[in-house]
Amino acid sequence: MKPLRSTFGLFKMKKWYGGVLILVLAMVMSAYDFFNNHPPIDSHRKGNDSFKLPKVEAKKPSLIQKPKLINVEGLDELYAPRNVSEQESNVLLLWPHLHLLLSRSDALPETGQGIKEAAIAWKELLALIEEEKTTKLSNNIRLKEKNCPFSVSSPDNALFSGGNILELPCGLVEDSSITLIGTPNGSYRSFEIDLVGSSFSEEPKPPIVLHYNVSVAGDNMTEEPFIAQNTWTNELGWGKEEKCPSHVSSNNLKVDGLGLCNEQLVRSIMEENQNVSVSSGDASTNASQESSHASANFPFVEGNPFTATLWVGLEGFHMTVNGRHETSFAYREKLEPWSVSGVKVVGGLDLLSAFAKGLPVPEDHDLIVNSKILKAPVITRKRLVMLVGVFSTGNNFERRMALRRSWMQFEAVRYGDVAVRFFIGLNKNLQVNFELWKEAQAYGDIQFMPFVDYYSLISLKTIAICIMGMTMPLSGLMKFSPVSRKSHPMAYCMAL
């Protein structure tokens, strides 16, 4: 009988465990029902529905919202019918394919402004093209005056009156430089050097691509001299100010490998901040000595002439004074060097000379020799080996010509096995757009983008390369950036 008792006890234990398990599950389900699905006080219950667990297919937030098409200002004007020939419109092959992309609600944040400004620039360019067709603008004085020169200097009357001292008809490119020779005169404690951006007539004020504010030492040498750099736009106003000498170490922050502030200025200020063992009686004397110590390394001194060169790097602007690097300033969004249209100087400065060189200069596209040798071969129906998409900006004339004269002369490119195309957005500068249009017609290797060429919209160029590659019978895609000197296989195009 012992085995039977054992079996009976085991059976009773299993029933007990089962009862506990059922009780626990009932408590869990009741708690879930109360805390997660308890109806509000003012709800109207129907029968016993309120005691039922909710269905799994109850309202569930969607993780990915399907984009919708929106009305983007300027898009209709950009795609309005245009009076250009079929051959001329070859530079606009991608525009129909990009139309829906530009009007999506999930487009890049700066797409709206890029399209709005592009519509204005495109309207002005079409008017100029039409004028050129009817009046043969090759002999027009107005265009010759606004051509893109390699260098410009300021007239004497502008130097003494201040204000706008230099006009840069086609903007700046990497390695462009602006040299000023002057003397702080003490009439004001400061003077300002502004790089003024391009603007349309509809805009209230042009943007300031770089605001360079120099404050010299006071008469009693108790006021610390400094250099402040900033930007200004109609949309955002003044940006975040960057000051030199900096009271905070910025050794880790570099622009083109150069420090934001001169190391001697930073070191002197940090040494002064560390000198805290000063008696209260000698505080004023010590403050004057510290200010004098900082001023000794400052490049701008009242009554002392200086030569300052502001040059354009890959990542930002750099100021060299009397042969020594003083400050660096990284480019800010939508304020790239290509958009600079002039230089303005105001304040307590006797300016002796102003000179800019290394400016973008277009080729003479009317030369028959260049057109025949450098013109891109027509893409036939045969299968291409590769399409190479090159990122470029409107006024980078010299770099595009360098590519045309170098590796674009390889047999694979010349015989049409490899197609090379430059992807370029519109510019806010009418003269640059017109020179770019003539270049595109002469060499046949440029594709216009229907937006202004802001760096924040560079992803749209990548998509454009993918789209163009999918419309061609080819085996591979590659994008190339002359700025970084790097090429990238476009294996991810299919994912787009």
DSSP single-letter state for residue 69: B
pLDDT tens-digit readout, 406-462 = 999 999 999 888 999 999 999 999 999 999 999 999 999 999 999 999 999 999 999
pLDDT band at 224 (very low <50, low <70, confident <90, very high): confident
Flag whether pLDDT at 206 surpasses 60: yes
Q: State the DSSP string of 266-295.
A: HHHHHHHHH-----GGGHHHHHHHHHHHHH
Intra-chain end-to-end CA distance of the chain, in Å = 78
What is the gyration radius of the CA atoms in the chain, in angstroms?
33
Task: Confirm whether pTM is higher than 0.85.
Answer: no
For the cut 70, the answer to whether the pLDDT of residue 149 exceeds it is yes
- Sorted by sequence, the CB contacts under 8 Å of residue 286 that are 6+ apart come out as 275, 278
The contacts found for 47-55 with CB under 8 angstroms, 24 or more apart, are 53/29
Q: Taking residues 343-355, what's their average pLDDT?
A: 94
Backbone angles phi, psi at 91, to 5 degrees: -80, -5
Burial (CB count within 10 angstroms: exposed 0-12, middle 13-18, buried 19+), residue 203: middle
Q: How confident is the model at residue 16 (pLDDT cuts 50, 70, 90)?
A: very low
User: Which has the higher per-residue pLDDT, 287 or 97?
Assistant: 97
- Which domains are delineated in the chain? 75-142+362-495 (no CATH), 150-273+286-357 (2.60.120.200)
Band (145; pLDDT cuts 50, 70, 90): very low
Calculate the alpha carbon distances from 167 to 100, 152, 158, 159, 172 in Å.
Answer: 39, 8, 11, 13, 11
Supply the mean pLDDT for the chain: 79
Q: What is the pLDDT of residues 33-90, one digit of tens each?
A: 444 444 444 444 444 444 344 454 555 555 667 889 999 999 999 999 888 899 999 9
Among candidate residues 403, 425, 437, 421, the one with its CA nearest the CA of residue 469: 421
